[in-house]
Each structure stands twice: as structure tokens, then as C-alpha cells.
Amino acid sequence: MVYLIGGSSHVGKTLLSQKLMERRGVPYLSLDHLKMGFIRSGMTELTVEDDYEMRYWMWPFVSGLIKTVCENDQELIIEGCYIPAEWKKSFSSEYLQKIRSVFIVMDENYIKENFDLVCGMADAIEKRLDDRPDMDRLIVCSREFKREAIKNGIPFLEISGSFDPEKLTDELEKILMRE
């Protein structure tokens, strides 16, 4: 089974994927790492600022990787903002039976009331350099990922109360493990 965890930047995808990996023993791949490998190798002229373009540039490679994992009956968690909302179009029904997904978003009020906490959690797993997000952009991106999830029939986990990693991982697990 492949578990796709998408959503906008700074919503906790990497932290919750790490927690899910620890609970279930399933490895995970951060698409941020893959992005940086492509950038640093010179395989693309896209930069860390080109999130939207990077999503669609990387997707053929990522979807090929997903197909290989499915064909080998292996398990993998893939997380990142580089999972397009229309990801299902890349797979036949044979593959779709082996893929589950969820987008993580944050409620606008949560972002406004907890912006410093959101920024403070940015490097909970990965060491980010000078990565203070813009609040307005974070709100717009989270709203857009939620809209795209609804439009494309992707379950979403909306953070609106407190950011309790254990409880959020419980919720994430329930969504992903549904038949």
C-alpha cells in the first residue's frame, strides 16, 4: 500500500509522516528531499521557490516510483506539497486499489491564532534554513489544498483546534486505513 500525504507547506506533513512511520513500521519519503536532490544535481533549473512548477515537473518520476512500489506489493508513505490533487489520473484501477491519500490543511483561524507556533514547528523533523512562511500565503495555500481535495474526492485532515501530534496521527491513521 502507498500512502500519499499532501497539503500545503507548514501544516505538519513531515512530522505526522514520521509519527506514522514509527507506529506502522512503513518507511516514508519526503518529496522535499527528492526536490532538493533534483535541484542540487542540476537535473532541473527550478528552484526552491518554484513549488507549483516543481509539483508537475516531479510528478512523472513520483508516479513511476509509486507504480513500482505497488507492483512489488511493498508499502511506502510519500509526503509533500508536490502531490497534485488530480494524482488519481496517473493510475489505472489496478494501482488505485493500492494507494490511499489524505491532504492536511489548517483552518484560517488556527493559522492566525497560532502563527508563531506554526513557524516554530517548521523544523521539527527537517532542518530548514530561514523558512518563516508568510501568513497570508499559508492561509491561501491551505484553503486551496482543501478546495482541491474536495473537488477531487481526496479525504482531508483539517487542523483547527490544537496541534497535538499524537492525536493528529491518530486521525491521519484512521483516514488512511479506511477501506
Tens of each residue's pLDDT in the chain, 179 residues: 999 999 988 778 888 999 999 999 999 999 999 999 999 999 999 998 898 999 999 999 999 999 999 999 999 999 999 999 999 999 999 999 999 999 999 888 888 887 676 566 655 445 555 555 678 888 898 999 999 999 999 999 998 887 788 998 999 999 998 84
Q: What is the pLDDT of residue 56?
A: 96
| E strand intervals along 54-162 | 76-79, 99-106, 156-159
Q: Residue 8 maps to which CATH number?
A: 3.40.50.300
Distance CA 111, CA 142 (A): 9
How many CB atoms neighbour CB 144 within 10 A?
Answer: 13
DSSP 76-93: EEEESTTS-TTGGGGS-H
Domain that holds residue 104: 2-177
Question: pTM of the full predicted structure?
Answer: 0.89
Domains held by the chain: number: 1
Q: Residue holding cell 537535473?
A: 43
Element at 72 (helix H, strand E) = none
Q: What is the pLDDT of residue 115?
A: 66
The length of the chain is 179
